[in-house]
A and B are shown apart, each in its own frame.
Chain A
Amino acid sequence: MSRTRLPAPPPPPVPGPDLADRTERFARLALRVTLAALVGAVALLGASLGGARPTLAVGFEDAMWLGVAADRLAVLLLVLVVGVSATVQGYALRYLRAEPWRARFVGLTLALTASSMALVAAATPATLALAWVVSGAAVVGLAGLRRDDPTVAYDLRTVRWGVGIGDLSLVLAVAAVLGVAGSFDLRDPGAVATAAAALGGWTIPVAFLLIVAALSRCAQLPLPGWLPLTIGAPTPVSALFHAGVVNGGGLLLIVVAPLLSAAAGAWALVALAAGTTAVWSVLTMSVSADVKGELARSTSAQMGFMLITVAAGLPAAAVVHLVGHGLYKSARFLGSGGVVHEAAHQRALPRRTALRSWTLAALALVAFAPAAVLVAAVSTLGWGAPEAALLVFAWAAIVAGTAGWARRRDDAAGWAWALAGSTAAALAYVGLVHTVKAFLGPIGTTTPTGPGPWALVALAVALVAVAVVRHGAPGTAGVSARLYVWALASTHRPGPSRASARTRPRGVMAVTSRAPRAGAASLAPAPFEVVA
Chain B
Amino acid sequence: MSPTALAPSGPPVSDAVRARLRADISLAARVLPVSRPLADLVAVNPLGGFEDRDVPTAVEAARAWYGVVGHLGEPAYRAVYASGRIDDTDLAAALRRWAPEIPWGTWLVAPGAGSGRGSTLEAVILADLHHGEVAEIGGRTEMSLAEAHDARGGAEVAATVDAHVVRWCAAHLDRGQASWSPMRGEAGLYRAWQQLVRHDRTLARAVRRRLATGPQRPEDAVLAAFDAFGSGSDDQLSLLRAELTALPGWAAHLRWRSDVTGDAALVDYLALRLSLTAALIATSSPQDSAASVPNPGRIDRTAPDPATRARIALHRLGVDPGALDPDGWDLLVEVLGHIAPSRRPWVWQAAYEAHYRGGLLRSLSRSTAVSHASDTRPRAQVVCCIDVRSEGLRRHLEGDPEIDTLGFAGFFAVAIGWRAVSGGQSLANCPALIDPRHEVSEVVMGSQRVAEGNRRRTAAWAGTRDGVHEAETTPGSAFALAEAAGWITGPVAGLRTASPTGWEALRRGTRRRVAATPPTTVDLTGCIPPADRVLTARAALTMMGLTSGFARLVVLCGHSSDTAANPYEASLRCGACGGHGGGPNARVLAAILNDGDTRESLRSHGIDLPDDTVVVAAEHDTTSDVVTVLDPHLVPSTHHDDLDRVRYDLDRAGAALAAERCSRLPGAPAAGDDAATPPRSAVRHVARRGADWSETFPEWGLAGNAAFVIGPRSLTRDLDLQRRVFLHSYDWTVDTDGTALETILTAPLVVAQWINCQYWLSSTDPDVFGAGTKTVHNPVGDVGVLSGRSGDLCLGLPRQSVAVGPVLVHEPLRLMAVVQAPLDRISAIVDRHPRLRDLLAGGWVTMVARGRPGEGWTEWTSTGWRDWLAPSMVVEA
Contacts and interface: CB of A to CB of B under 8 A. Distances in A.
16 contacts: A11-B704, A12-B808, A83-B490, A99-B805, A283-B180, A289-B173, A289-B181, A290-B170, A339-B177, A400-B471, A408-B460, A466-B475, A494-B163, A498-B296, A508-B772, A513-B764
A12 B692 CA distance: 26
A417 to B, nearest CB: 7
B1 to A, nearest CB: 22
Contacts of B58: none
Nearest to A504: B767
A526 B79 contact: yes
B765 A507 contact: yes
Nearest to B776: A234
Contact of A338 (B179, B369, B424, B693): B693
Contact of A99 (B199, B401, B773): B773
Given A337-B566, A341-B569, A513-B137, A484 B483 contact: no
B806 A9 contact: no
Interface in B65-93: 67, 69, 72-73, 75-76, 78-80, 82-83, 85
A281 B137 CA distance: 45
A87 B493 CA distance: 7
B367 A6 contact: yes
A482 B773 CA distance: 37
A16 B673 contact: yes
Contacts of B17: none
B750 interface: no
Contacts of A98: 666, 697, 800, 804-805
Nearest to A4: B718
Contact of B480 (A330, A393, A408): A393
Contacts of B356: 9
Given A94-B694, A348-B424, A512-B763, A528 B75 contact: yes
Interface string B180-216: 1110000000000001110111100000000000000
Given A16-B673, A352-B466, A513 B775 contact: no
A97 interface: yes
B279 to A, nearest CB: 16
A137 interface: no
B75 A330 contact: no
Contact of B466 (A8, A93, A404, A467): A404
Contacts of B790: 151, 290, 491-493, 495
B780 A346 contact: no
A51 interface: no
Contacts of B734: none
B234 to A, nearest CB: 27
A287 B809 contact: no
Interface stretch (A125-133, A255-263, A294-302, A445-453): A294-302
Given A5-B718, A9-B359, A329 B73 contact: no
Contacts of B468: 401, 404
A228 B672 CA distance: 39
Given A14-B804, A527-B75, A397 B480 contact: yes
Contacts of B69: 506-507, 512-513
A293 B158 CA distance: 23
B777 interface: yes
B422 to A, nearest CB: 5
A400 B456 contact: no
B764 A19 contact: no
A494 B666 contact: no
Contacts of A522: 131-134
A516 B134 CA distance: 7
Contact of B72 (A12, A229, A428, A513): A513
A428 B360 CA distance: 65
B39 A329 contact: no
A529 B803 CA distance: 12
A232 interface: yes
A5 B156 CA distance: 63
A393 B427 CA distance: 40
Nearest to B672: A16
A323 B693 CA distance: 23
A420 to B, nearest CB: 12
Contacts of B805: 15, 19-20, 98-100
Contacts of A352: 466
B875 interface: no
Contacts of B456: 409, 411, 413
Question: On chain B, which size bracket covers the interface?
Answer: 35 or more
B39 A293 contact: no
Interface in B95-125: none
A25 to B, nearest CB: 14
A62 interface: no
Contacts of B425: 347-348
Nearest to A352: B466
Nearest to A35: B498
Interface string A504-526: 00111111111110100011001
A337 B567 contact: yes
B798 to A, nearest CB: 11
Interface in B682-735: 692-697, 704, 717-722, 724
Interface string A264-308: 000000000000000000110011111111100010011001000
Nearest to A89: B497
A485 B775 contact: no
B876 to A, nearest CB: 20
Please report whether the interface of chain A is mostly helix, strand, loop or mixed according to DSSP. Answer: helix
A8 B778 contact: no
B23 interface: no
Interface in A457-496: 459-460, 463-464, 466-467, 470, 480-482, 484-489, 491-496
A235 B786 CA distance: 13
A348 B420 contact: yes
Contacts of A498: 147, 150, 158-159, 162, 296
Contacts of B697: 97-98
Nearest to B790: A492
A54 interface: no
Contact of A512 (B178, B694, B765): B765
Given A338-B693, A343-B39, A508-B766, A492 B485 contact: no
Given A17-B671, A289-B178, 15 more contacts: A6-B719, A15-B804, A155-B789, A331-B489, A335-B565, A347-B39, A348-B422, A349-B422, A408-B462, A417-B460, A463-B476, A488-B200, A507-B766, A511-B806, A518-B136
A526 B75 contact: yes
B498 A90 contact: yes
A467 B476 contact: yes
A429 B484 contact: yes
A177 to B, nearest CB: 31
Contact of A232 (B197, B565, B692, B776): B776
A499 interface: yes
Interface in A87-115: 87, 90-100
A379 to B, nearest CB: 20
Given A6-B719, A7-B363, A8-B721, A432 B807 contact: no
Contacts of A6: 363, 366-367, 718-720
B85 A12 contact: yes
Contacts of B492: 331
A152 interface: yes
B782 A97 contact: no
Contacts of A155: 789
B180 A286 contact: yes
Interface in B136-190: 136-137, 139, 147, 150-151, 156, 158-160, 162-164, 166-168, 170-171, 173-182
B781 interface: yes
Contact of A11 (B38, B293, B476, B724): B724
A23 B70 CA distance: 33
A289 B174 contact: yes
B476 A513 contact: no
Contact of B693 (A15, A334, A407, A494): A334
A501 to B, nearest CB: 8
